[in-house]
Every structure is written in C-alpha cells, then in structure tokens.
Amino acid sequence: MAETIWLFLGLLGVLTLASAIATLLSWKSRRTSDVLPSTLVNLNARIKAWWIMIAAISIAFLFGKGGVIFLFAFVSFAALREYVTLTHTRRGDHRILIGMFLVVIPVQYYLLWIEWYGLYSIFVPVYCFLAMPALTAISGDTERFLERVSEQQWGIMLSVYCISHVPALLTLAIPGFEGKGLLLIAFLIVTVQGSDVLQYVFGKLFGKRKVAPKISPSKTWEGLIGGIVSASLLGAALAWLTPFAPAEAGLMAALAAIMGFFGGLVASAIKRDRGVKDWGHMIEGHGGMLDRADSLIFAAPIFFHIVRYFWT
C-alpha cells in the first residue's frame, strides 16, 4: 500500500515538473513571437493528456482487479475500433466484425477475471483463429478472402490478446508477492511509457542517425539507445515495486523498452501502408489509442511470460 502511494506521488511530481517546464518554455517563446511553435503546442497537449491518462489509471487502480480489467477492456475496444477502421471490410464481414467487439473482447476479459490461464492464453490464437475464417467462408464472399481474414486476425491479436496481457499480470501467483499484482502493472506501464517519452526526448535533443528512415523519420539511434539506457535505470530504481532485484528490474525494463520500440515501429509501418499519420484522435496531442498503446502491445505479452517463467 505504501508503495502505491509513493508511486503516485512520484508520478504526480514528474507530471507537475513536466507541466512547469512546458509552461516556462511556452512563456519564453511567447515573449519573442505571437505564434507558439507546433512542437510546443504538441508538447502542452501531450502533457495535458498524460494528466488525464494517469487519472484514469489511478481510478482503475482504486477499484482493484475489476477496475483494471475494465480499463484495459476499454483500451482494447478503442484500439480495435481504430484498427478496423483502417482495414478493408466488406458487407459480408459485418457479423464477424460485430463478434470481434461483442464476443471476443468480453470473453477474453471474462477469462482473465476468472483467471483461467489455460483458456485465456489460447482463446484468441487458437479458437478465434480457426472460427473466424470458418465463419467468413460460410458467408460465401471470397473476394480478397485471405487479406480480410488476416487483417481480422491481426486486429484481435494486437488490440485484444496482446493488450489483455497487461491485466493478466494480476493473475500470476508470485511467491512472496501476493496481492501486489497492481504494482507490477504499474512497473510495466511506467517503464514502457517512460521509455517512449525518453526516446522522444533523447531523439529531439541528440537525434541524428535514423533507424528506419522509410518507416518513421522520428526514430533515431540516439533516441533509441538513450531511451533504452535511461528506461533501464528507471526500471532499476523502481525495483521496490516488483519481485525483481534491482539488476533484474533494469533488465526487465530494457526488454520492455526494446519490445516497445518494435511495437511503435510496426505500428508506424501499418500506418504508412494505409497512408495515415495517426490511428485516431482520441488522445489529444498523441493521436489515437493505438498511438499510445502500440509499445505496450508488444511489451506486455513478453513481459508477462518472462515473469511467469522465471518468477512463478
């Protein structure tokens, strides 16, 4: 309990500091020109959105397991909606699409709620994987069949299955860490999102060599390395939230940061393929839900399984 309070006080401090810096920068820039540069406008919007996101997560934490499961079911809903909007769908897909929202999301999160690991870890990649193409085939429309079916699979894997591995951390029985699953979730979210922010900051300050210029002009080696190293240090410093020793916590944070980077890269590739800059407009300054959750999507399942393998 004391850990939770310290964590949120820490987050509050960081956000207050960020807001203060942004306000100072905006104030300085307003003295020299009437128009605020777009980077600063975006920075202000991003920080404001962070306040709202932290508030939402805090409220979910207050409600415990149910609150966190509900929050991530909503994240899945918003992410899947953004994803499906960008895919090719045909009239014959209507029922499958409704099923993705009204059946797959509730069932996956219900299985989490009853902590049935044996089923929630294969429900999407086995049962939905086979049921959805079968139902699409029954509908009889074969036009771009493989493409439609694959896009649906990807959608629920990314938006539902992978994201659900964040609250799934609550179901792990780690000896000596009973009842503290929420802290592990906080550790994952803080290191992954922190690494996103740190990569952005290091990239803006020192970024020169682009990692994948064809996919994302904003991802640089300097940002990537600076982000991963600083996120590892952050993780090591937050070891008291976790069942890990400080060095282990640093390694887990580095892993989460690297996976998060790949998540962002893949999301950028999909967006580029579809000719859009952002997934949506749900979170001001950041874009859509998927723009914020892409790194978590890649980090969560790997983080979950490593903890499950080595610590339970």
Partner 1 sequence: MKAAIQRLAAMGLAGLARAITGVRPIWQGCAPSGRQRIYFANHSSHGDFILLSSSLPPSERSRTRAVAGADYWRRNKVRHVLARDILNTVLVERNWVERSEDPMVIMLGALEQGSSLIFFPEGTRNMTEEPLLRFRSGLYNLAVARPDVELVPCWIENMSRVLPKGALLPVPLLCRVIFGAPVVLEEGEDRHVFLDRAREALLDLSPERQKALAHG
**Contact footprint for partner 1 (CB under 8 A):** 77, 81-82, 84-85, 89, 91, 94, 97-98, 101-102, 275, 280-282
Q: Which amino acid is at 184?
A: L
Query: Which uninterrupted H or E stretch holds 84?
Result: helix 64-85
Place of tokens 């070891």: 239
Closer CB to partner 1, residue 8 or residue 74?
74
CB 72 to partner 1: min, Å? 17
CB 86 to partner 1: min, Å? 9
Closer CB to partner 1, residue 82 or residue 294?
82
Closer CB to partner 1, residue 176 or residue 275?
275
Closer CB to partner 1, residue 19 or residue 89?
89
**Residue 26 CB burial class (10 angstroms; 0-12, 13-18, ≥19):** middle
**Residue 309 CB burial class (10 angstroms; 0-12, 13-18, ≥19):** exposed
CB 98 to partner 1: min, Å? 5
CB 272 to partner 1: min, Å? 14
CB 104 to partner 1: min, Å? 13
Per-residue b/e over 104-118, b at no fewer than 16 CB within 10 Å? Answer: bbebbbebbbeeeee
**Residue 98 CB burial class (10 angstroms; 0-12, 13-18, ≥19):** exposed
Closer CB to partner 1, residue 100 or residue 111?
100
